[in-house]
Amino acid sequence: MEQTNLVVTPDGKTWDEVTRDVSYMGNLVLYSTTDTNLASDTATIILDEWRGSGHMLHANFMTKDFAIAYDRMICLKDGMYRIQISHRFASSNATFGLRINGTTILNQDNPDSGGLTSAEMSTINVQLKRGDFVSIYGSWQNSSDEYNWLQISKD
């Protein structure tokens, strides 16, 4: 027989309330990167660093309220989210962008025909519903997560 609503703390919290509490993580819901170099303007960037320590700016890769899919992050809770992306272009005359549900909502071009650029930072606030998905595409230099990362926080 399976126990439901099992009270496990003196103040009356159930097992589900205790084990699923992620409030200590603050409003950050996703932080990830990849060390894969991608020079295509159209290919989807596959983020693959989801756990462990980051290089410079952030302490830990993590996710909550988003499901990790192969080439996208799927929203699990409705709300207003702030999406921040820092990246370096992997090649000159390159493109980088953010898609929500397959539609491009942010697009950046690297007009430098002579080489790579410094890190570019973008911030966008979006209303997401359960089931909406976020993906990034384009040129991504694999220098380090000091410059290349995707972060989503809940406003």
> How do the domains of the chain map onto residue ranges?
25-154
Q: pTM here?
A: 0.78
Average pLDDT over residues 2-8: 70
pLDDT at 88 > cutoff 70: yes
Q: What is the CATH number of domain 25-154?
A: 2.60.120.40
The chain-wide mean pLDDT, for the chain, equals 81
More confident residue, 20 or 100: 100
Percent of the chain with pLDDT over 90: 30
- pLDDT for residue 106: 87
Q: Are strands 103-109 and 133-138 parallel, antiparallel or unpaired?
A: unpaired
What is the pLDDT confidence band of residue 154, given thresholds at 50, 70 and 90?
Answer: very high
